A and B are shown apart, each in its own frame.
Chain A
């Protein structure tokens, strides 16, 4: 018992000491500065359009798809789901203190200090189901993503404003940050290798998109998937590309990564759901 307390105390002090070095705001400014300087001609807000902010050939095709984007089907299905009461008669809205019409996406991800974990929008939606006696939906595609598409659509134009308060939140942020910059997989590449240092360069025929703005437009209808998918589905795809074993959607690794990555885009507007190649 004594040992346990001692270990806890040690862990706590180390967490605090660790957190003291964490300066998310300074990180964010450096991150955004890097992209605005690397792509001088691109206005800050444009980064929410991902690769289409810097690839004119791709942009023309994306604009043609945006004429009537396939994600509208998902928004419609998500709206129906949102308005369908659970077996107990309650609705999704009962789980959220903000009306959906004003958008919910901008309140996520956030750090739940009590549970000491990052809560994403998708997690909140599924937890709402479970709290009302319904089974959780799958994380990466299907009904949950339709629901997320509908909810995200209501948040278009709202600014990203992730908050990081307290040592635990800072620790989660730091873990997400470390994940982003750490090389992984057989190709020995990090998220940053592609989406910071090589943003704008080609991988075969693909132009690598800038990391700034990445989380603004999810979930996305991806032509390659022929379907909708969540941000964590995309994370898994990226990890697989560099031959690293993907982590579980909504697990600690990707939730912390989303926390970090979304914080990096603070100040930019949400514009999801999106369409991507």
Chain B
């Protein structure tokens, strides 16, 4: 009895802590996860769901650092950097993935330089889209995903 009460109290504490933590997160963030965009099966649909438009301007001020041939489609290291004035976010789309929107990175004071590792189902164009002052800028690179031999 004593034990279970202690456990209960502990559980309560943890829950309270979590709530306190969650409420300290910016409201905007919790509201902003765009399920529709992340679940869209076509890149244009995902873009429309996310930005309200799929129209982008090609820009050479965005740089993608990614392999031409991925060693393993499950772990493709990529970096995106850009020098577009007033950039608010950088988003990554992989055209041939089942759900093309991979992730969106919101630069709330952060610099235009992010890195992560992504999954790619097959050979595809990877698009980096930068939103700045209400406009969308994009560049892309093809990444080949091949069937491995024996690997590593």
Contact = CB atoms under 8 A, between A and B. Distances in A.
B113 to A, nearest CB: 13
Interface in B61-77: 67-72, 74-77
Contacts of B68: 57
Interface SS of chain B: loop
Nearest to A206: B149
Given A61-B77, A65-B75, A65-B77, A224 B67 contact: no
Contact of A194 (B67, B76, B148, B150): B150
Contact of A61 (B71, B115, B150): B71
Interface string A251-277: 000000000000000000000000011
B74 A57 contact: no
B74 A223 contact: yes
B152 interface: yes
Nearest to B68: A57
The size bracket of the interface on A is 20 to 34
B75 A205 contact: no
B132 interface: no
Contacts of A202: 149
B117 A65 contact: yes
Interface of B: 67-72, 74-77, 79, 115, 117, 146-152
20 contacts: A51-B152, A57-B71, A60-B67, A61-B76, A194-B150, A204-B146, A204-B149, A205-B149, A206-B148, A206-B152, A208-B150, A222-B151, A223-B75, A224-B74, A224-B151, A224-B152, A226-B74, A234-B152, A277-B75, A277-B148
